[in-house]
Amino acid sequence: MSALPPEGAPLPHTASTAPFEPNAVETMTPEQERVYLASQWQLMWWKFRRHKLAVISGVVILVIYAMAAFAEFLAPYHYTTRNTDFIRAPRQEVHLFHEGSLIGPFVYPYVQRLNMENLKREYDVDRTKPQPLRFFCRGDDYLFWGLIPGNLHLVCAPEGGTLFLLGSDRLGRDMLSRILYGGRISLSIGLLGVFVSFVLGVVIGGIAGYYGGKVDLVVQRLIEIVQSLPHIPLWLALASIMPPSWSPLLVYFGITVILGLMDWTGLARAVRSKLLSLREEDYVVAAQLMGAKPARIIGLHLVPGFMSHLIASATITIPKTILGETALSFLGLGLRPPITSWGVMLNEAQNINVVALYPWLLYPVVPVILIILAFNFLGDGLRDAADPYR
């Protein structure tokens, strides 16, 4: 132990010779600086990338939406084109080799015959006449997004032949083409329905959370009433009151509004709980003292603070809306022909005898299952990424 200096003697000390930097902070490594100075969205993205299943699901969703957006180009036929000589034909397989020789993608033609014992159309494959497929070819005329006329297709049926990669329906229409066209309706209804519920949930939940008190009490009782109603019977009741004289476009928007009106309650409660905890923050009080109106405080100060949670909630809500449209159209109370959606196509597969004889009529259920699973996995990843500090 060192001896103390004599009384009155100056204490020993040392001084740093480093230059004085009043704005200096604790030195961080580049890795620490990258994390500590990252924005909330960067932290979310880093967390989301580690959720491999969510990333794959996001890619699948983008691919499906891209296919629906370019359905006219990708579909071999127009969705209304009928091949009356090939009603309920099974799917044609694509081959590359014929009798040991490589001749490229081709299909074998069908030869139709009527079975007089059960009066069923049967199709035999003629394996002596390979028919090469055509790519980037001219086929059925269409209006791209209802605006731009065209007839260019990625793949077309062979000259004088047919191309039913997923079979045909009761009117001889190509199932693959109708699934691509129907995906545009089913997927867009999911987005529009979520937009309606998103607006209602943010507005109603924001008012309840910001004002609290009696306003919150009234809104909570309203949410409980809506949530206590059975959804499917209420969907059926609301869909059945739409006049049959409405055009397909009006029916489309009517179904979208109905689905949006039923799915806003969960989001409203999430917004309300967040605003109850955020409305006492200093920046909210400062905005109030500066004279900001409640709509501005909610929209510009409170909602952006938990936008990541809203995005995750909306992602999980989209599959519910898609399933709602599919269920209504399957029951014949949603969209109706000539509009084509996955639910409308599944409406033709209600008869178990038809499904037993022509199982390819159930193919529209495959993209429904795929998109629902992809959205659920993506929603799980976004929900985990919305709290990057966890």
Indicate whether 389 pLDDT > 60: no
Provide the b/e sequence for 273-285 (b: ≥16 CB within 10 Å): ebbeebbeeeebe
The rounded distance, in Å, linking the Cα atoms of 254 and 192 is 11
137/277 same-domain check: no
Token duo for residue 162 = 């047919």
Specify the pTM: 0.79
Residue with tokens 């917004």: 271
Give the single-character DSSP code of 162.
-
159/193 same-domain check: no
Domain limits for position 148: 92-163
pLDDT for 295 equals 82
148/238 same-domain check: no
Q: How many CA atoms are closer than 13 Å to the CA of 373, on its beta-carbon side?
A: 9
Token duo for residue 120 = 């069923």
Using one digit for the tens of pLDDT, what is the confidence trace for 167-192? 898 888 999 999 999 988 888 888 88
Q: Are 345 and 182 in contact (CB under 8 A)?
A: yes
Would you say residue 1 lies in a domain? Answer: no
The rounded distance, in Å, linking the Cα atoms of 251 and 242 is 7
102/187 same-domain check: no
Q: Phi and psi for 82 in degrees, rounded to 5?
A: -110, 140
146/202 same-domain check: no
Cis omega (within 30 of 0) for bond into 338: yes
Would you say residue 262 lies in a domain? Answer: yes
**Three-state SS at 373:** helix
219/355 same-domain check: yes
Using one digit for the tens of pLDDT, what is the confidence trace for 60-89? 999 999 999 999 999 999 998 998 888 888
Q: Are 171 and 86 in contact (CB under 8 A)?
A: no
Please identify, among 163, 190, 215, the residue that sits at the C-terminal boundary of a domain.
163
CB neighbour list of residue 312: distance below 8 Å, 6 or more residues apart: 379, 382, 383, 385, 386
Please identify, among 102, 129, 163, the residue that sits at the C-terminal boundary of a domain.
163
158/183 same-domain check: no
254/317 same-domain check: yes
**Three-state SS at 105:** strand
Would you say residue 170 lies in a domain? Answer: no
Q: How many helices (H) and strands (E) does the chain have?
A: 15, 7
Using one digit for the tens of pLDDT, what is the confidence trace for 120-141? 788 888 888 889 999 999 989 9
Q: Are 166 and 86 in contact (CB under 8 A)?
A: no
Task: Give the number of domains in the chain.
Answer: 2
Token duo for residue 186 = 């089913």
148/278 same-domain check: no
Would you say residue 99 lies in a domain? Answer: yes
CA separation (Å) from 305 to 64, 279, 288, 348? 31, 11, 17, 47
- The CATH number of residue 298's host domain is 1.10.3720.10
Q: Phi and psi for 102 in degrees, rounded to 5?
A: -85, 115
CB neighbour list of residue 301: distance below 8 Å, 6 or more residues apart: 283, 284, 287, 292
Would you say residue 25 lies in a domain? Answer: no
Using one digit for the tens of pLDDT, what is the confidence trace for 10-33? 666 666 676 666 655 556 667 767
